[in-house]
Chains A and B, each alone.
Chain A
Amino acid sequence: MKIDWTRNETLVALVILGFCAAAAMSDPGFLSLATLTDLLRGGIVLGIFAVAALIVLISGGIDVSFTAVAAFTMYVTAMILNAALPWLPWWAALAFGMAVGAALGAFNGVLIAFFGLPTLIVTLGTMSIFRGTMLTFIGQKQITTLPPGMRDFGRMMLLRGENSDGSFYSLHGAFAVTVLVVVLTWAILHRTMLGRQIFAIGGSEESARRIGINVSRVQFFVYIYVGALAGLAGIIHASMARVANPFDLVGLELSVIAAVVLGGARLAGGHGTLTGTILGVALIVLVRNSLIVLGIPSTWQSVTIGCLILLGTGLPAWQAKRAAARAA
């Protein structure tokens, strides 16, 4: 296979490799199964969020409310299940969360698809609305006793093993959910006309309308799907953290979007790949979880993350600019 040096994916992969090399050099123990499982676990929730953000970006929109949807969903779900449906098994709890998330997504969808409001503004507003509603009317206290379904899910492992020093490494069951989400989304985007229509409206909404694509319906689907994914991520987050804290998650949205754009999706819409998204998430997770190994003092950690974001986006951007100058 020929390597395309101008693609974001390639450059981000390079940055990842370089980073791993540096980490391995500074601590040979870095290259271990335990590191891998820790990193994979770190990518579970972020990965689902990123897939959600990717779809919206492809459709030509931007969504900053998905973290609020996730927080709302996990909190309300934990509360309802505790109060009324404690017997629900884990998979039903996940489904319940997806339904709540989808309902919130539908709210975004109505405003965007049927009122025709700009996506950034709508989601900026609904972010405040979802969070404000939850904290004003539903509750602020974190829930440490999760419903049994979520508790079971929180302890579910795909893989478990013992390190040489007697400690355990394990891969959380939720990782399978993330993989499933990626595969399902790939199938939607690349194997259904619905997916192609998402790309089409991202490319040109007016053209899409003119050839008879029901733009509102496609957008509506996008925001419901994204809501469902966000809800799912929320439940997974709470289950894995064993606590539903209504103050969690919100604030993460820009980093997630950064990861997706890092992976080559364009803010203007119509472009983006799942491979790139996964690489972008991988880079962010890797950086966030390897600064101690690299021995970077706490005071310089945010500078390091900032530099890596700039490097990760700067290289492809600069490449693209040079390529454009060459072709023009």
Chain B
Amino acid sequence: MNEVPMLTRFTASTEGRLALIALAVFLVMALLSPDKFLSVQNLTSMAFQFPEFAILALAMTITMLTGGIDLSVVGIANMTAIVAALILTKLTGSGDGWAVLALALSVSVAVGVVAGLFNGILIATLGLPPILATLGSGLIFTGIAIAMTGGSAVMGFPPATAWIGNSTVLGIPTPLIVFALLALGISLLLTRTGFGIKLRMFGANPLAARYAAIDIDAMLLRVYMLSGALAAISGMVVMSRANSAKADYGSSYLLLAVLIAVLGGVNPYGGYGRVIGVVLAVLSMQFLSSGMNMLQVSNFARELIWGTLLILVMIMNTWRAKPRKA
């Protein structure tokens, strides 16, 4: 008697339904190959895998909330990773390199912020549509990454570098911790700060935001700088996990990040989106993907299933809400 309304209330929200989906995917995979999928080995392995693109999805989320998009995240990630890698290889002295690593990390995040600032200036100050501004700047960042290295990989890092991507803290993979902290931070930022509220309101109606005396330009600059910083952090995770940096790492993550954000319920036209939704979408994706690898299903079938999932979730969302579409 009591459970039914609880369940209805739960499924009434986009995020509630996503939680059910993530759970369902987990259960199905666990049932299909219980010994493998539920092994500690596999669970840890999954926790190592998703943070790098999940962080990109966070970056995508905040830009989508303003009705924009950041197609340059992978370019930024690789460019900043190469900057960090060059520092790590050129400056490395004796010892295990913690100091150099700290330097490389800060420089790369700073470079990410500057790259984001460049996007922000294009979008806020010059008024370019975000999709084009970041498409163009993404090519430029990737190009710079290639020009810096001639296309080959940069490697030979001090051992400390492995810490970000390959180690565990109290048994929890470091990348997972990094992602969890970022997700929490972004979630707080979006829901509990003036910046977050303004950003969502701007996404809902840019003109009204101007009339409400919101500091639009400063806000957009900060949004894209933040996105750049997140991309840089993701770049660091990738660099550490690959123990090298190269201009073409993670090229498939761009579309994946967009897909995750949208699956997570973020409205790509701005105004709505929650971090929890994105996290649940990431989990569903990872469960599905690892599970299917265990079952040796073709990777193309995975693409098919993602697409189907996205559309089914959307049909469920509109079908339930049912006010005419916005």
Interface of A with B (CB < 8 Å)?
111, 115-118, 120-122, 124-129, 131-133, 135-136, 140, 205-206, 254-255, 257-258, 261-262, 267, 299-310, 313-314, 317-318, 320-321
Q: Which of A205, A206, A313 has a CB less than 8 Å from the CB of B136?
A: A313
CB pair B311–A306 under 8 Å, yes or no, is no
Q: Residues of B contacting A306 with CB < 8 Å?
A: 135-140, 143
CB pair B127–A317 under 8 Å, yes or no, is yes
Query: Quick one: given A302-B143, A318-B126, are A136 and B132 in contact (CB under 8 Å)?
Result: no
CB pair B126–A132 under 8 Å, yes or no, is no
State which residues 290-310 of B face A: CB under 8 Å.
298, 300-308, 310
Measured as residues with beta carbon below 8 angstroms from the partner, the interface class of chain B is 35 or more
Tell me how far the C-beta of B170 lies from the nearest C-beta in chain A, rounded to whole angstroms.
37
A320–B126 Cα distance when bound, in Å, is: 9
A117–B318 Cα distance when bound, in Å, is: 7
Q: Residues of A contacting B150 with CB < 8 Å?
A: 299
CB-based closest 3 A-B pairs? A132-B304, A128-B307, A306-B139
A97–B292 Cα distance when bound, in Å, is: 33
CB of B186 within 8 A of chain A?
no
CB of B133 within 8 A of chain A?
yes
The residue in chain B whose Cβ has the minimal distance to the Cβ of A126 is B307
CB of B6 within 8 A of chain A?
no
Query: Quick one: given A129-B308, A258-B132, A267-B131, are A117 and B314 in contact (CB under 8 Å)?
Result: yes
**Does more than half of chain B's interface fall in helix, strand or loop, or is it mixed?**
helix
6 contacting pairs across A/B (C-beta < 8 A): A115-B319, A129-B304, A206-B324, A302-B140, A310-B137, A317-B129
Q: Residues of B contacting A122 with CB < 8 Å?
A: 311, 314
Interface string of B108-139 (1 = CB under 8 A from A): 00000000000000100011110111011111
A261–B315 Cα distance when bound, in Å, is: 29
Q: Residues of A contacting B315 with CB < 8 Å?
A: 111, 115, 117
Q: A267-B131, A302-B142, A310-B128 are in contact. List 7 more A-B contacts (CB 8 A).
A: A117-B318, A120-B262, A124-B262, A125-B310, A133-B304, A258-B135, A303-B139
CB pair A125–B131 under 8 Å, yes or no, is no
The residue in chain B whose Cβ has the minimal distance to the Cβ of A254 is B135
CB pair B147–A299 under 8 Å, yes or no, is yes
CB of B269 within 8 A of chain A?
yes
Q: Which of B132, B146, B151 has a CB less than 8 Å from the CB of A261?
A: B132
CB pair A307–B301 under 8 Å, yes or no, is no
Query: Quick one: given A124-B262, A136-B298, A254-B135, are A302 and B146 in contact (CB under 8 Å)?
Result: yes
Query: Quick one: given A126-B307, A129-B308, A254-B135, are A116 and B318 in contact (CB under 8 Å)?
Result: yes
Tell me how far the C-beta of B259 lies from the nearest C-beta in chain A, rounded to whole angstroms.
6
CB pair A309–B132 under 8 Å, yes or no, is yes
Interface of B with A (CB < 8 Å)?
71, 122, 126-129, 131-133, 135-140, 142-144, 146-147, 150-151, 258-259, 262, 267-269, 298, 300-308, 310-311, 314-315, 318-319, 324-325
A91–B314 Cα distance when bound, in Å, is: 39
**Does more than half of chain A's interface fall in helix, strand or loop, or is it mixed?**
helix
Tell me how far the C-beta of B79 lies from the nearest C-beta in chain A, rounded to whole angstroms.
11
Tell me how far the C-beta of B190 lies from the nearest C-beta in chain A, rounded to whole angstroms.
21
CB pair A115–B318 under 8 Å, yes or no, is yes
A74–B222 Cα distance when bound, in Å, is: 44
CB pair B311–A111 under 8 Å, yes or no, is yes
A309–B71 Cα distance when bound, in Å, is: 14
Tell me how far the C-beta of B143 lies from the nearest C-beta in chain A, rounded to whole angstroms.
3
A300–B314 Cα distance when bound, in Å, is: 41
A218–B144 Cα distance when bound, in Å, is: 45
Q: Which of A132, A261, A307, A317 has a CB less than 8 Å from the CB of B303?
A: A132
Tell me how far the C-beta of A241 lies from the nearest C-beta in chain B, rounded to whole angstroms.
22
Tell me how far the C-beta of B296 lies from the nearest C-beta in chain A, rounded to whole angstroms.
13
A321–B310 Cα distance when bound, in Å, is: 36
Tell me how far the C-beta of B271 lies from the nearest C-beta in chain A, rounded to whole angstroms.
12
A111–B127 Cα distance when bound, in Å, is: 33
A304–B140 Cα distance when bound, in Å, is: 7
Tell me how far the C-beta of B246 lies from the nearest C-beta in chain A, rounded to whole angstroms.
14
Q: Residues of B contacting A115 with CB < 8 Å?
A: 315, 318-319
A158–B138 Cα distance when bound, in Å, is: 38
The residue in chain A whose Cβ has the minimal distance to the Cβ of B71 is A254
Q: Which of A118, A128, A136 has a CB less than 8 Å from the CB of B314?
A: A118
CB pair B133–A310 under 8 Å, yes or no, is yes
The residue in chain A whose Cβ has the minimal distance to the Cβ of B150 is A299
A310–B306 Cα distance when bound, in Å, is: 32
The residue in chain A whose Cβ has the minimal distance to the Cβ of B258 is A124
Q: Which of B302, B311, B325 has a CB less than 8 Å from the CB of A132?
A: B302
The residue in chain B whose Cβ has the minimal distance to the Cβ of A246 is B300
CB pair A299–B151 under 8 Å, yes or no, is yes
The residue in chain B whose Cβ has the minimal distance to the Cβ of A135 is B300
Q: Residues of A contacting B127 with CB < 8 Å?
A: 317-318, 320-321
Q: Residues of A contacting B129 with CB < 8 Å?
A: 261, 267, 313, 317
The residue in chain B whose Cβ has the minimal distance to the Cβ of A322 is B127
Q: Residues of A contacting B147 with CB < 8 Å?
A: 299-300, 303
CB pair B304–A136 under 8 Å, yes or no, is yes
